[in-house]
Amino acid sequence: MHGVMQNVKHLCERKRSKMWANEGWKKVVVCIVSDGRMKINSRTLSTIAAMGAYQEGIAKNMVNNKPVTAHIYEYTTQISVTPNMRIEGAERGTMPCQIIFCLKEKNQKKINSHRWFFSAFGRVLEPNVCVLLDVGTRPGPTSIYHLWKAFDINSNVGGACGEIVADRGKLGVNLLNPLVAAQNFEYKMSNILDKPLESVFGYITVLPGAFSAYRYIALQNDSTGEGPLQKYFLGEKMHGADADIFTANMYLAEDRILCWELVSKLGGSWTLHYVKSSYAVTDVPDQVPELVSQRRRWLNGSFFAAIHSTVKFAYIYRSSHSIVRKAWIHVELFYQTYNLLFSWFSLGNYYIAFVILTQSMEDLGPGAIKVLNTILNYFYLGMLVMCYLLSLGNRPQGSKVGYTMAFVGFALITIYMTFAAFFMAVRSIQTISAEKQGALTFGDFFTNTLFANVIISIASTLGLYIVSSLLFLEPYHMVTSFLQYLLLAPSYINVLNVYAFANVHDVSWGTKGDNKVSKDLGVVATGKDGATVEAAVPTDQKDINAAYEDAMAVLSSKPPVIDQKRDAATKQEDYYRSFRTK
């Protein structure tokens, strides 16, 4: 929230802007939608209370025997709570900020929260640009302005996103964790290679839900009720018996569906844009079980959504894009189809590369090396089988040791493969040099099939990473994160893919069991006229000050250490599953 307040301050500091300047804060409304009153963190409530946008003792569970769906608070604040839990007000240059806080009574997941924003608040506010920001994601001080500017410059831009940056911690201390470092490299290369290329075509396959922006009018449905939002909100009901397995998995990547429906909208010519100057910092999984669980939804959702956009590619012809734009999107279709096929065969391709590289080492000593290669081959296949067994029957949180062993094992295999690749390169060059009389030319290297198929492909990939990073003037991740990514890359292929496709039946986004009506807040009834309600609310200044002091007391104290231990029932279930797997 402090990052949002910094962005509002920046908008008001643009004195020469006709849109913003001193009164710019009046054109910004921050809508906070909290998914479930019983789920919200108490420190989050204290932060919003300290800002004045939440007050205890007002909300009720039922009105006239009808359950309350959400509690809505509205306030214009000039207080910002920093990450260090310090209060900054007008004396530090904090500008006023209009806040709508919607505290949903039940936990009904992300798409329902977006329905509240787009279908409830959006119809009243009628915004021009909507910026979506997830919990745990902190925008840069000027990021929202740069996102808005993309819409202001080009009226055909229907959606935009900035760079998602992994939280590296103070002085990059989080990069000491190999998982965080690998994800940092993954995010960086995606923002250097994928997003700019897709932005040129006009269709970005996914605008990250953690930090993205949409033109409100572009999302609206047509007169028949068909449109991007209608397709997007279908995902709220697509995680149970109401949907087939393909559709349910497809809607795990609901943001990809929204992007495709926006670009291919009937009669529209909306494009999606990547804004490099805009960024947001987000926390990433730092433990193996968390990473495996997160990527299960990402991989399954993106795979089935990619199939959907490929099969439904004819939708692009119903849009009003120019012939040139449609031609570029056709090029991107072929590119995405190739990526889809490559990802499907990635597990087999990696094993083939492993066999080729290890067999090349047998020239060193046919006896000992062949025995070592045989052992490693069985070790590779054994870990793959172990991943299948764990994926079919065990939760990642209940098999932390097994999945961690798989990550470490594939990392050791990568080290051996890297050594084999260098050995193959040296031996191939020696062979080519012996066969060639005179000086070697670049074309001579292609005469050796093994060298051309393996070494040049590896070198070109590494060279692409280095050159593109230097062109973007961001080579630091190559130093701090490339080695970790190299070691964990086979686990992305063998562990995460196996778990994802072995659990394609798991489309759990539902809210089963969240049907009870709580009565801890009390109930109220209307008067005889049926329109007025009498409810006791704190109005005395002492009570209000006391509530503020309570909120500050919570924020000033250290957050309690959350016990990550499993409860007895879950622990027992994990034990039985582990016994069955073994």
Active site residues: 255
522: left (phi over 0), alpha (psi -120 to 50) or beta: left
* C-beta neighbour count of 452 within 10 angstroms: 13
Asked if residues 37 and 104 have their Cβ atoms less than 8 Å apart, the reply is yes
Asked if residues 76 and 8 have their Cβ atoms less than 8 Å apart, the reply is no
Residue whose pair of structure tokens reads 């087999």 in the numeric block: 348
DSSP 332-367: HHHHHHHHHHHHHTHHHHHHHHHHHHHHHGGGT-HH
95: left (phi over 0), alpha (psi -120 to 50) or beta: beta
Asked if residues 309 and 336 have their Cβ atoms less than 8 Å apart, the reply is yes
What six digits make up the tokens of 105? 């009574």
What six digits make up the tokens of 407? 């990550």
Q: How many residues does the chain have?
A: 582
CA 105, distance to chain mean position in Å, is 26
Cα–Cα distance for residue pair 117/109, rounded to 1 Å: 13
Cα–Cα distance for residue pair 147/4, rounded to 1 Å: 13
Cα–Cα distance for residue pair 417/437, rounded to 1 Å: 31
